[in-house]
């Protein structure tokens, strides 16, 4: 590796760390604002603006998943939904020049602290296992064992994931259950580990609601509003997920519909636990080191 390549590699990790430092602060500030009677939009917009104030950019819209929701839920521009006595998961991302940190925390307003604790303890146990050469399937087995010990089930069709520049989900996947064929982690891998625990059977399926989207491919459309939206998506968000409420184009919903019809963007339907049961989540981003890992989002 040339001296220039070494410098670029070092700069990449520094940007991951910077993103993680911002994210750790924003996560705690946002979690403190989750309370019965506060609106979801207020918390989401606070966190996204705070990320920018601190020198980062949102890597994706703040996910606010409530009760049986597990992922991909974010408020719309005119959403006035208030938090109730619910289990609330905040999943937040920050990037610096495309280098990402990803974290999640459960704020339990529902009176089920053990379910919240199950995902938190599973994450701690997984982090303790990380070192070069450990197989991702073994990490998944440890996550499953801890959650099972609480009397709950892991969500088996959601996984942790690698992170790359402007790419939120790349290999390796980090399962939340034991799998026979895993991937060995290597020094320098940047991954997000995110156990999900539930008092349901442990599978999620897609619902009907979509508020988060991402660019699928380059393309062109005739509609003026769709072209304006595509220009913003390409220049501002690139391949990272974005919220419909982030778009400046008038009639953004219609513009997105046209872009979807042309397979230029795709949506992320809200994922819900199959039995309608509660889901908790805890997530950190790590860099694999020679003797373990560095948690960038603590």
pLDDT digits (tens, 9 = 90+) for 134-147: 999 999 999 999 99
Distance CA 194, CA 83 (A): 23
Q: Is the pLDDT of residue 295 over 80?
A: yes
What is the three-class DSSP state of 254? helix
- Phi/psi at 119 (5° precision): -70, -35
254 in the Ramachandran plot: left (φ > 0), alpha (ψ -120 to 50) or beta?
A: alpha
Mean pLDDT of the chain: 96
User: Is 161 annotated as contributing to ligand binding?
Assistant: yes
Domain spans, the chain: 3-206+271-295, 212-270
Inter-residue contact 290 to 187 (CB < 8 Å): yes
- Catalytic residues, which ones? 91, 102, 161, 169, 194, 283
Q: Is the pLDDT of residue 1 over 80?
A: no
Closest alpha carbon to 268 in 197, 204, 209: 209
Res 250: pLDDT: 85
CATH architecture of the domain formed by 212-270: Orthogonal Bundle (1.10)
Res 50: pLDDT: 98
Residue range 13-53, pLDDT digits in tens: 999 999 999 999 999 999 999 999 999 999 999 999 999 99
Res 93: pLDDT: 98
Res 6: pLDDT: 63
Residue range 232-287, pLDDT digits in tens: 999 999 999 999 999 998 899 999 999 999 999 999 999 999 999 999 999 999 99
Inter-residue contact 174 to 185 (CB < 8 Å): no
Location of structure tokens 């040339």:
2
User: Is 95 annotated as contributing to ligand binding?
Assistant: no
Q: Is the pLDDT of residue 288 over 90?
A: yes
Q: Please determine, looking at this structure, whether the domain spanning 3-206+271-295 carries the CATH number 3.90.230.10.
A: yes
User: Is 124 annotated as contributing to ligand binding?
Assistant: no
Share of the chain above pLDDT 70, in %: 98
Confidence of residue 164 (pLDDT cuts 50, 70, 90): very high
> What mean pLDDT do residues 213-242 have?
95
Distance CA 267, CA 274 (A): 20
Q: What is the 3-state secondary structure (H, E, C) of 47-112?
A: HHHHHHHCCCEEEEEEEEEECCEEECCCCCCCCCCECCCCEEEEEEEEEECCEEEEEEEEEECCCC
Token pair, residue 284, equals 């950190």
Give the strand order in the sheet containing 265-273.
Answer: 69-71, 265-273, 204-215, 242-243
């Amino acid at each position: 590796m040339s001296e220039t390549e070494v410098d670029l590699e070092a700069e990449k990790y520094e940007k991951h760390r910077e993103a993680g430092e911002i994210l750790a602060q924003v996560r705690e500030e946002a979690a403190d604002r989750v309370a019965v009677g506060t609106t979801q939009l207020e918390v989401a917009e606070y966190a996204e603006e705070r990320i920018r104030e601190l020198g980062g950019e949102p890597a994706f819209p703040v996910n606010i998943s409530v009760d049986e929701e597990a992922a991909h839920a974010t408020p719309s521009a005119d959403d006035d939904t208030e938090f109730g006595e619910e289990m609330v998961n905040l999943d937040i991302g920050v990037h610096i020049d495309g280098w990402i940190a990803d974290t999640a925390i459960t704020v339990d307003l529902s009176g089920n602290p053990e379910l919240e604790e199950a995902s938190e303890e599973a994450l701690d146990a997984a982090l303790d296992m990380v070192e070069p050469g450990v197989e991702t399937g073994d990490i998944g087995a440890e996550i499953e064992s801890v959650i099972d010990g609480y009397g709950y089930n892991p969500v088996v069709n959601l996984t942790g994931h690698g992170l790359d520049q402007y790419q939120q989900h790349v290999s390796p996947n980090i399962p939340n259950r034991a799998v026979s064929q895993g991937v060995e982690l290597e020094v320098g891998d940047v991954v997000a580990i995110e156990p999900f625990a539930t008092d349901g059977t442990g599978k999620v399926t897609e619902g009907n609601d979509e508020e988060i989207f991402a660019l699928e491919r380059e393309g062109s459309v005739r509609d003026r509003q769709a072209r304006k939206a595509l220009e913003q998506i390409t220049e501002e968000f690139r391949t990272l997920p974005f919220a419909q409420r982030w778009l400046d184009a008038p009639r953004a919903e219609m513009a997105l519909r046209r872009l979807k019809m042309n397979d230029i963007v795709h949506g992320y339907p809200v994922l819900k636990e199959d039995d309608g049961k509660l889901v908790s989540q805890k997530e950190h981003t790590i860099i694999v080191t020679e003797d373990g890992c560095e948690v960038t989002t603590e």
